[in-house]
Amino acid sequence: MATAEFGQAVRRWRDRVSPESAGLPAGGQRRAAGLRREELALLAGISVDYVTRLEQGRASHPSAQVVAALARALRLSDTERSHLFRLAGLAPPGPETVPGHLTPSVQRMLDRLTGTPVAVYDAAWTLLVANAAYAALMGDVSGLRGHQRNGVWRNFLGPGSRVRHTPDERRAFEAALVADLRAAADRYPADPGLGRLVGELRSGSARFAELWDSGAVGHHRAARKTIDHPQTGALTLDCDVLTVAGSDLRIMVYTAEPGTPDAERLALLTVLGTQTLVG
């Protein structure tokens, strides 16, 4: 059970995070020293009312997912993150669970790539954070909850993405997703959330179950992808997936060849989409 100290710690750490450092516009007069409750709620993907109740000590059982999201939004260090989990009455994530903490170095890199679509996923392809440029390209992700944030779930049981695939590309992509998830399950066999995800996918998708049971192999590699965007039309971009050593984080980056029509369209939708998201 979370103590009153939990709410005090969230408020204290919220005050030290500036909106600019979190990729948000400062905008006019501000009473808050750092992030407003509304801004923390947006960054963590929870309701403003819930943030208020947590800070006032009126919500005493935050889930591990909520605490992890707050730690990311508040840019806590590993030590601070563990402390927040203990204040919530929870055991800090250990080596047997899928890592989901953004290191300060990864966060600094995201801060410097504001004009480039970037998203960070964990080893099970659950979206941890995406910048405004990524949301402008691939669609707003702030409202996604639970398994909706998982790329494997979205491709087998959900709406998929804006990426265009030929039938052969689709088959190879699905095999790579399943192989990645299997590798994550082998590395983190005690992670309960990962076990539930695999169970839901196996029961809900015959295609996933077929690939999982057959021991499908594959891996992600750098590729050129065509994204069907509702405003700019098709864009063909380079997609690179970088792995952070020691944390199993995957950083997905979309870029365009300079001087091409795709680069012009990407720059345009990034500006327009960012304005829409923060306006």
What is the C-alpha to C-alpha distance for residues 205 and 93, in angstroms, rounded to an integer? 29
Which part of the chain is CATH 3.30.450.180?
Answer: 104-278
Confidence tier at 238 by pLDDT (50, 70, 90):
very high
Mean pLDDT in the chain? 86
| Residue 254 clears pLDDT 80, i.e. is over it | yes
At what angle are helices 192-204 and 167-187 packed, to 10 degrees? 150
Which part of the chain is CATH 1.10.260.40?
Answer: 4-87
DSSP state for residue 254 in the 8-state scheme: E
Confidence tier at 167 by pLDDT (50, 70, 90):
very high
pLDDT of residue 32: 67
pTM for this entry: 0.77
By percentage, how much of the chain surpasses pLDDT 70? 92
C-alpha atoms less than 13 angstroms from C-alpha of 68 in its C-beta half-sphere: 20
- If you average pLDDT over residues 238-253, what whole number do you get? 89
Specify whether the CB–CB gap between 226 and 164 falls below 8 A.
yes
pLDDT in tens, 78-99: 889 889 999 998 888 777 788 8
| Residue 215 clears pLDDT 60, i.e. is over it | yes
Angle subtended at Cα 21 by Cα 18 and Cα 24, rounded to the nearest 5 degrees: 80
| Residue 278 clears pLDDT 70, i.e. is over it | no
| Residue 141 clears pLDDT 80, i.e. is over it | yes
Sequence length of the chain is 279
| Residue 62 clears pLDDT 80, i.e. is over it | yes
Specify whether the CB–CB gap between 58 and 154 falls below 8 A.
no
- Could you confirm whether domain 104-278 is CATH 3.30.450.180? yes
What is the C-alpha to C-alpha distance for residues 13 and 124, in angstroms, rounded to an integer? 29
Classify domain 4-87 by CATH architecture.
Orthogonal Bundle (1.10)
Confidence tier at 26 by pLDDT (50, 70, 90):
low
Specify whether the CB–CB gap between 133 and 227 falls below 8 A.
no
Q: Which residue has the higher pLDDT, 43 or 50?
A: 50
What is the C-alpha to C-alpha distance for residues 245 and 242, in angstroms, rounded to an integer? 9
Beta strands (DSSP E) in the chain are 118-121, 127-130, 163-164, 223-229, 233-244, 249-255
Confidence tier at 64 by pLDDT (50, 70, 90):
confident
Task: Give the lowest-confidence range in 33-37, 50-54, 199-203.
Answer: 33-37
pLDDT of residue 27: 63
pLDDT of residue 244: 85
pLDDT of residue 279: 39
Token code pair at residue 13: 């750490």
Q: Which residue has the higher pLDDT, 128 or 21?
A: 128
pLDDT of residue 218: 66
What is the C-alpha to C-alpha distance for residues 24 and 65, in angstroms, rounded to an integer? 23
